[in-house]
Structure 1
Amino acid sequence: MKYNKTVMTKLINEHRELHDELKRIKAEMGLEKNLAIKALYHSAVADNGRYMQDYQDLERRQ
């Protein structure tokens, strides 16, 4: 499974808790949006993360 910004953005838009986490990452770490999205991918999706199945489903629909 590879990181795809478009799929990750759709996932964030579908899950309010991911949206809130993205805002928190940007604020706490001072990251720009693209880097914060990538960080969120690695913490919530990659390596059997909580949202891995939802991410894969979106990836298949694309």
Structure 2
Amino acid sequence: MKYTKSTMLKLVNEERELHDELKRIKSEMGLEKNLALKALYHSTVADGGRYQERYQELDR
């Protein structure tokens, strides 16, 4: 599975929990949005993460 910024943004906009987590990552780690989005992808989507199936649906 490959990271796609546009797909990840769609997922974050649809899932309130991910939206809040993105804000938390940006704030706590001082990351810009693009890097925080990648971090969120690797922690919640990639390699069998909780949102992997939903991400794959959006990516089609």
Runs of 4+ in structure 1 deviating by more than 6 angstroms, as ranges, are none
Q: Equivalents in 2 of 1:23, 1:10: separation in Å?
A: 15
Instruction: Report the 3-state secondary structure (helix = DSSP H, G, I; strand = E; otherwise coil) of the residue aligned with 1:50.
Output: coil
Measured after TM superposition, the shift of residue 24 of structure 1 is 0.2
Unaligned runs of at least 5 residues, structure 2: none
Q: Which ranges in structure 1 are unaligned for 5 or more consecutive residues?
A: none
Aligned identity (percent) is: 75
- The CA deviation at 1:11 is 0.2
Computed over aligned residues only, the root mean square deviation of the Cα atoms, in angstroms, reads 0.2
Map 1:1-62 → 2, pairs under 5 A? 1-60=1-60
1:37 Cα offset (Å): 0.2
Aligned residues: 60
- The alignment's TM-score, normalised by the length of structure 1, stands at 0.96
Structure 2: how far apart are the matches of 1:50 and 1:18?
11
